[in-house]
Amino acid sequence: MGQNEVKVGLLGLGTVGTGVVQLLNEHVQKIEHQVGGAVRVTKALVADKTKDRGDIDLNDLELTESAAEVINDTEIDVVIELIGGVEEARQLISDALANKKQVVTANKDLIAMYGAELLEKAAENSCDLFYEASVAGGIPIIRSLTEGLSADQITKMMGIVNGTTNYILTKMNDEGRSYDDVLQEAKDLGFAESDPTADVEGLDAARKMAILATLGFSMNVDLEDVDVRGITTISAEDMDYSEQLGYTIKLIGLAERDTETGKVDVSVQPALLPADHQLAAVKNEYNAVYVYGEAVGETMFYGPGAGSLPTATAVVSDLITVVKNNNLGVSGRSMVPPQFEKSLKSDEDIRSKYFLRMHVKDETGVFDEITSLFSKHDISFEKILQVPLAKNGAGKAEVVMITHETSRTSYEVIYEKLKSMESIHELESSYRVEGGTSE
């Protein structure tokens, strides 16, 4: 890396890439002041050089359709990967590290799947590999976990880490609209992709929770270790009853560590949160991560989870760290390998409260039959209500309950028994209840 000017190669000049160029253009002096020299993007890989890049000032930045022209350019010190996807990005980052380039990426899919491998390769080559933008866009959560909270023992992280699903659930809750209706609107407004599967099925959030759990618990948590469920089956009725009971439904990424055994549990699922919980107030496309540390207690990080400039701030802050590390001669030495072997909780260890909604026969004795089944399995209720079904529900009633805390194993046993009970027509929905009790 030259003494006076750091040369940067971008792989990708889309939403985030143009944000990076804009931020570097606008904050020239601030960045120069921090790192002691100029930082300039000299080349950018794109898929189509002829594409209109809007009114972004590209200065003397050279566009290329050949990745090798960036990766093998001996003048380039830092490569920023912003093309997305997994295999090509993995190969390009690997090649860049082999060429002793420092690397920054915003690619959560790649880091969740191959982060450990690429970080090892970076260390072998005395290079940095930073990925702040990969989780919760503009929120500096990764640096907060690895630096700000490094003295503490983190026991729990709860996150709203997918803006698309949070937008959909907010509109369903606040406007009483159906999932399909809001999804279509989110697509029209550009909040949801034309194929929203990775978002609505919880996979995008799961990738981010795997990254957060790996860092927060200092343990390699893989994507397959994350129990995932999306939001596609949440109904307006579920939203309504949750509200009546004092809760809100959110897609929650949950990572918990047992302080005694050190075992962890990482999941993404729609869950009921008390309406007065801090995460319940996170609306629309915003993200937030709640972190509980033994010493610090509760902390919460809130902000934009995506978008050109918010995400670019995370990328450029990584770039600044890379340059500072290089100036200090410590590149590739700030990564701390996981301290613990992976150890996951069993279903017996995973404890939660549950919301359950079912359609039952509207007859005397049915309610008692259900409650006695629960008490036989030592599961008590925090709240329970029974209402006759108004629409198309002659002879049927709806029972909605929130249990006290129980193990996942016990809950699954009882769920199977309920399914086979004659007096129960349908188990409509079931969610975990997190974040304490609603008043």
Interacting residues toward ligand NAP by CB under 6 A: 12-17, 45-48, 51, 82-84, 88, 106-108, 133, 137, 306-307, 311
Question: Could you tell me how far CA 69 lies from the centroid of its own chain?
Answer: 33
Residue appearing with tokens 């990925």: 131
The single residue of 101, 208, 353, 383 carrying the catalytic annotation is 208
State in angstroms the smallest separation of the CB of 409 from ligand NAP.
36
Q: How far is CA 134 from CA 61, 237, 276, 328, in A?
A: 25, 34, 29, 26
Among residues 92 and 249, whose Cβ is nearest to ligand NAP?
A: 92
Among residues 104 and 280, whose Cβ is nearest to ligand NAP?
A: 104
Structure tokens at 184: 């279509």
Among residues 164 and 406, whose Cβ is nearest to ligand NAP?
A: 164
State in angstroms the smallest separation of the CB of 136 from ligand NAP.
8
Helices (H) and strands (E) in the chain, counts: 14, 17
Q: How far apart are the first and last CA of the chain?
A: 58
Please report, as a single letter, which amino acid is at residue 415: Y
State in angstroms the smallest separation of the CB of 334 from ligand NAP.
22
CA–CA dist 100, 105 (Å, integer): 16
State in angstroms the smallest separation of the CB of 176 from ligand NAP.
29
CA–CA dist 269, 328 (Å, integer): 43
Strands 78-81 and 102-105: parallel
State in angstroms the smallest separation of the CB of 360 from ligand NAP.
45
**Nearest Cα to Cα of residue 431 among 275, 199, 247:** 247
State in angstroms the smallest separation of the CB of 311 from ligand NAP.
4
Among residues 108 and 353, whose Cβ is nearest to ligand NAP?
A: 108
Whether residue 384 contacts residue 399, with contact meaning beta carbons closer than 8 Å, is answered with yes
Bridge partners (DSSP) of residue 271 are 250, 432
Question: Could you tell me how far CA 324 lies from the centroid of its own chain?
Answer: 28
**Nearest Cα to Cα of residue 193 among 48, 13, 15:** 15
Structure tokens at 291: 């972190």
Among residues 88 and 382, whose Cβ is nearest to ligand NAP?
A: 88
Among residues 287 and 403, whose Cβ is nearest to ligand NAP?
A: 287
State in angstroms the smallest separation of the CB of 17 from ligand NAP.
5
CA–CA dist 105, 17 (Å, integer): 11
Among residues 47 and 98, whose Cβ is nearest to ligand NAP?
A: 47
State in angstroms the smallest separation of the CB of 94 from ligand NAP.
15
Whether residue 310 contacts residue 304, with contact meaning beta carbons closer than 8 Å, is answered with yes
State in angstroms the smallest separation of the CB of 427 from ligand NAP.
36
CA–CA dist 354, 384 (Å, integer): 11
Among residues 84 and 253, whose Cβ is nearest to ligand NAP?
A: 84
Closest CB to ligand NAP belongs to which residue? 14
**Nearest Cα to Cα of residue 331 among 314, 318, 343, 341:** 318
At residue 38, φ and ψ (nearest 5 deg) are -75, 150
Whether residue 314 contacts residue 140, with contact meaning beta carbons closer than 8 Å, is answered with yes
CA–CA dist 418, 312 (Å, integer): 50
- Is 342 noted as a catalytic residue in this protein? no
Is residue 45 helix, strand or coil?
A: strand
At residue 384, φ and ψ (nearest 5 deg) are -150, 140
Among residues 304 and 393, whose Cβ is nearest to ligand NAP?
A: 304
Alpha carbon dihedral 131, 28, 301, 197, in 10-degree steps, equals -50
Query: What residues act catalytically?
Result: 208
